[in-house]
Amino acid sequence: MFPDGVGAYVDLMQNLIPEMKDGIVRTAIDTGCGVASWGGDLLDRGIITVSLAPRDNHEAQVQFALEHGIPAILGILSTHRLPFPSNSFDMAHCSRCLIPWPKFGVIYLVEIQRILRPGGFWVISGPPINYETHWKGWNTTIEEQKSNYEKLQELLTSMCFKLYNIKDDIAVWQKSTDKSCYKQLNTLDNYPPKCDDAIEPDSGWYTPLRPCVVVPNPKYKKSSLESIAKWPKRLHVAPERVVDVCASGGAFKKDNHKWKSRVKHYKKLLPALVMNVVSSYAPNTLPVVFDRGLIGTFHDWCEAFSTYPRTYDLLHVDGLFTTESHRCDMKYMLLEMDRILRPKGYTIIRESSYYIDAITTIAKGMKWDCFKEAAEYNIETEKVLICRKELESTCMVTYFRSGI
């Protein structure tokens, strides 16, 4: 899809969406990412992308992306919502992504509408865009592609998207910020209809897809793309959604300050790109992560993480065992961490002293080299365990032989 290279493709896209050039668009998702060339190119332009694809006949595309240091997770638009809260991404992209957007009661388009923030862009290239030029190469008829395009346009309009720009192979729609448009979703003949108020907009863990539109909550007045601060200022502004998880903007500032001093304590160990993982059982802080211009995903650490083995250079966990070990055995969480950690990769485990010794024993069984450090304020109740994974072959054999 990128005959002149992905750089030329993104140059063209930036001309259609000037907001990509000046820090307004900061977070993106690439559905059906292939080898994540798009997300990789955007990194150099200050836009951080979650590249998403399943393991299908395109093989280990997500592994390829992660090998190149591009944030990516295994995922599919199928029967369940994606693991993200509502109104999160500034932009979503699909280039020849083979997702049947108008089909199955439009549940896939509705999901894109949910995770995009108001004012966010949906960009599509490939069928049916520019069908007039390309239909012959798609093994179809011009009438069929024309009808597909018109259907897409009609559905998007009925979901409060507006065609923002279109040129050659790229079409851009924008999610509306206009309340009156969302009101019209209540009319009987509108399809897809507005979701029932009982449907939780942010739930993204084993939540079935439903053919209805999640209307942006009018109580949020500063979360749309046009009203949110530009990157990099955005990182330090208290998002308005912070009040849903902590009492005040003051608590946000305190947390920001705390983590600045903790990261300083870790010195040079932290990588440039972080996938922020919010436990599906914990308070929902993920909207705040996205509002700050960072990326993340919901996850339950009692299950496998949606990635290939040996894909992360560094794992950082803070109080995970204290909060989750009543739900599943600590060794399974550590085994999963070992699976996704690259040989010679590091883990930083911040835990209560109560758990640190037990974790150290299991970590040694997995052939991790660990040392215990005091926390930055040298308090007895909390410790930091820093471990490095040895080469995998010895690790797993020893782990199972040790009979832990």
Q: Which residues bind ligand SAM (CB under 6 A)?
A: 1, 31-34, 53-54, 56, 58, 61, 76-78, 95-99
Buried/exposed code over 149-179 (b: 16+ C-beta within 10 A; e: otherwise): beebbebbebbbbeebbeeebbbbbbbbbee
Query: H/E element holding 182?
Result: helix 179-183
C-beta separation of 51 from 45 below 8 A: no
Q: Which residue number, 34 or 216, has a Cβ lying nearer to ligand SAM?
A: 34
Tell me how far apart the alpha carbons of residues 350 and 400 are, in angstroms, rounded to a whole number.
25
CA 283 to chain centre: 17
Closest separation between CB of residue 41 and ligand SAM, Å?
12
C-beta separation of 27 from 295 below 8 A: yes
How far is the CA of 334 from the CAs of 53, 278, 299, 394, in angstroms?
A: 26, 17, 15, 16
Closest separation between CB of residue 79 and ligand SAM, Å?
10
Among 97, 28, 45, 37, residue whose Cα is nearest residue 65: 37
C-beta separation of 306 from 73 below 8 A: yes
Q: Which residue number, 19 or 30, has a Cβ lying nearer to ligand SAM?
A: 30
Closest separation between CB of residue 53 and ligand SAM, Å?
4
Closest separation between CB of residue 34 and ligand SAM, Å?
3
Closest separation between CB of residue 297 and ligand SAM, Å?
15
Closest separation between CB of residue 97 and ligand SAM, Å?
4
C-beta separation of 28 from 42 below 8 A: yes
- Residue 124's identity, in one-letter code, is I
Closest separation between CB of residue 62 and ligand SAM, Å?
9
Q: Which residue number, 90 or 169, has a Cβ lying nearer to ligand SAM?
A: 169
Closest separation between CB of residue 13 and ligand SAM, Å?
13
Q: Which residue number, 37 or 223, has a Cβ lying nearer to ligand SAM?
A: 37
Tell me how far apart the alpha carbons of residues 15 and 197 are, in angstroms, rounded to a whole number.
38
Closest separation between CB of residue 257 and ligand SAM, Å?
39
- As a dihedral over the C-alpha atoms of residue 69, residue 70, residue 71, residue 73, rounded to 10 degrees, the angle is -100
Q: Which residue number, 205 or 332, has a Cβ lying nearer to ligand SAM?
A: 205
C-beta separation of 383 from 373 below 8 A: yes
Tell me how far apart the alpha carbons of residues 303 and 277 are, in angstroms, rounded to a whole number.
13
- Residue 101's identity, in one-letter code, is W
Q: Measured over all CA atoms, what is the biggest interatomic distance in the chain, rounded to whole angstroms? A: 72
Q: Which residue number, 95 or 177, has a Cβ lying nearer to ligand SAM?
A: 95
Closest separation between CB of residue 306 and ligand SAM, Å?
12
Among 344, 341, 340, 398, residue whose Cα is nearest residue 367: 398
Q: Which residue number, 209 or 317, has a Cβ lying nearer to ligand SAM?
A: 209
C-beta separation of 26 from 43 below 8 A: no
Q: Which residue number, 76 or 404, has a Cβ lying nearer to ligand SAM?
A: 76
Q: Which residue number, 32 or 83, has a Cβ lying nearer to ligand SAM?
A: 32
51-55: Cβ within 8 A, 24+ apart: 52/82
* Helix (H/G/I), strand (E/B), else coil: 31: strand
Tell me how far apart the alpha carbons of residues 137 and 131 are, in angstroms, rounded to a whole number.
10
Closest separation between CB of residue 230 and ligand SAM, Å?
28
Q: Which residue number, 6 or 274, has a Cβ lying nearer to ligand SAM?
A: 6
Q: Which residue number, 103 or 344, has a Cβ lying nearer to ligand SAM?
A: 103
